[in-house]
């Protein structure tokens, strides 16, 4: 049976009329044979699916043939193209290499651009912070300028007051030196002139005697210091003239004490003649006194109470009697 033909089944069918049996002669005539063709539905469905599969396989085969033909055609074209123009192929290869290189460079440039954008963002942020700090600094500078002006004004006021105070002190000094209506004196009243210095002998009672520090403060209050002796003449003045009646450890403070393990005068100079006093060995005997009848000074405890001698520079006087003008020099003081 050929493919595609339908399969037919044949059956013999006998038709009888009633229960009577016909004569033998008619029996053959009454018997009819009919050909019945029956389709097998299941077989038909399988045949239809089989035909669709055949059609699909046929289409796929045709498609494969077409693709194969296209590939062969492209290969033939490239082969013919390469054989016909090898320079063009070489140029295309070069262009492809250049394109690849440019793609890499473009990727690098894109990455660098991203980095630069990030750096720009950071710099912008830093700039904003710097601008804010600059504004704060400008405000602070303005405040300092205002404070400077205020301080300058205060300094000017203090300078004016100081000058006025100096003028008052100068006038007081002039008056204290010029206590005689006829002429001014090189030393104030109560001070004794010896050479170029004025000495004040403070012969205080026992209850009023002072420690070395207190004695120095008293002399400073009188615009002077405890007496110093830089040469033999000054030493003799202190020992011979301004130490009467003192004996033992009762004497007069002078401007000599121990500083940094050395004997120093109150003006900061060192003691030149070390034979004038014993070395400062005892810890609690670091201040010097002048005692009558002794050519050297004694070292005693600075907290002991003693009498004291103050010393300051004498004034140089110049008097113009014809113009009735009095001038006091040496401390830049004048009275006209």
- pLDDT of amino acid 173: 61
Residue 276 pLDDT grade (very low, low, confident, very high; cuts 50, 70, 90): confident
| 48-85: pLDDT as tens digits | 767 777 778 888 888 888 888 888 887 777 776 665 56
Q: Is the model's pLDDT at 125 over the cut of 80? A: yes
Query: How do residues 207-240 score in pLDDT, each as one tens digit?
Result: 999 999 999 999 999 889 999 988 888 888 887 7
Instruction: Characterize the bridge pairing of strands 316-320 and 192-194.
Output: unpaired
Give the up-direction half-sphere exposure of residue 200: CA atoms within 13 A in the CB hemisphere.
23
Q: At 193, is the secondary structure helix, strand, or coil?
A: strand
Predicted local confidence at residue 255, as pLDDT:
94
From residue 204, alpha-carbon distances to 200, 254, 292, 302 in Å are 12, 15, 16, 17
Q: Any idea of the CA torsion for 39, 41, 45, 50, to the nearest 10 degrees? A: -40
Q: What are 253's strand-pairing partners?
A: 289, 308
The DSSP annotation for 223-262 comes to T-EE---SSHHHHHIIIIIS-TT--TT--EEEEEEEETTE
Query: Given 2.30.30.40, 3.10.20.30, 3.40.120.10, 3.10.100.10, which CATH number is that of 192-314?
Result: 3.10.100.10
What is the rounded average pLDDT of the residues 249-269? 87
Reported pTM = 0.46
Would the pLDDT of 25 be above 50?
Answer: no
Q: Which helix (H) or strand (E) element contains residue 46?
A: helix 41-84
Report pLDDT digits (tens) over 81-123.
665 566 777 888 888 889 888 889 889 989 998 999 999 999 9
Closest CA to 264 of 288, 241, 294: 288
Helices (H) and strands (E) in the chain, counts: 5, 11
Separation between Cα atoms, residue 6 and residue 41, nearest integer Å: 11
pLDDT tens column, 297-336: 888 889 999 999 999 988 775 544 333 344 444 443 433 3
Residue whose C-alpha is closest to residue 11's, from 29, 32, 27: 32
Question: Integer distance in angstroms from the first to the last C-alpha of the chain?
Answer: 167
What's the confidence (pLDDT) of residue 48? 72
């Amino acid at each position: 049976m050929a493919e595609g033909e339908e399969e037919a089944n044949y059956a013999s069918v006998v038709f009888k009329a009633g229960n009577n049996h016909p004569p033998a002669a008619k029996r053959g005539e009454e018997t009819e044979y009919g050909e019945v063709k029956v389709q097998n539905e299941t077989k038909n469905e399988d045949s239809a699916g089989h035909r669709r599969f055949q059609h699909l396989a046929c289409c796929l085969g045709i498609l494969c043939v077409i693709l194969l033909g296209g590939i062969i055609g492209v290969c033939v074209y490239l082969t013919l193209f390469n054989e016909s123009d090898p320079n063009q192929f070489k140029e295309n290869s070069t262009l492809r290499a250049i394109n690849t290189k440019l793609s890499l460079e473009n990727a690098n440039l894109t990455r660098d651009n991203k980095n630069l954008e990030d750096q720009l963002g950071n710099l912008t942020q830093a700039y904003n912070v710097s601008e804010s700090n600059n504004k704060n600094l400008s405000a602070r500078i303005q405040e300092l300028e205002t404070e400077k002006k205020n301080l300058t004004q205060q300094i000017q006021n203090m300078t004016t007051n100081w000058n006025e105070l100096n003028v008052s002190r100068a006038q007081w000094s002039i008056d204290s030196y010029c206590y005689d209506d006829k002429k001014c004196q090189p030393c104030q009243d109560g001070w004794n002139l010896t050479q170029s210095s004025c000495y004040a002998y403070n012969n205080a009672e026992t209850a009023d005697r002072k420690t070395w520090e207190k004695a120095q403060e008293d002399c400073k209050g009188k615009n002077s210091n405890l007496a110093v002796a830089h040469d033999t003449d000054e030493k003799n003045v202190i020992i011979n003239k301004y130490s009467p009646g003192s004996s033992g450890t009762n004497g007069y403070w002078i401007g000599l004490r121990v500083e940094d393990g050395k004997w120093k005068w109150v003006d900061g100079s060192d003691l030149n003649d070390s034979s004038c006093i014993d070395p400062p060995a005892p810890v609690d005997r670091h201040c010097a006194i002048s005692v009558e009848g002794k050519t050297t000074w004694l070292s005693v405890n600075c907290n002991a109470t003693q009498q004291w001698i103050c010393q300051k520079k004498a004034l140089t006087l110049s008097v113009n009697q014809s113009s009735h003008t009095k001038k006091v020099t040496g401390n830049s003081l004048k009275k006209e």
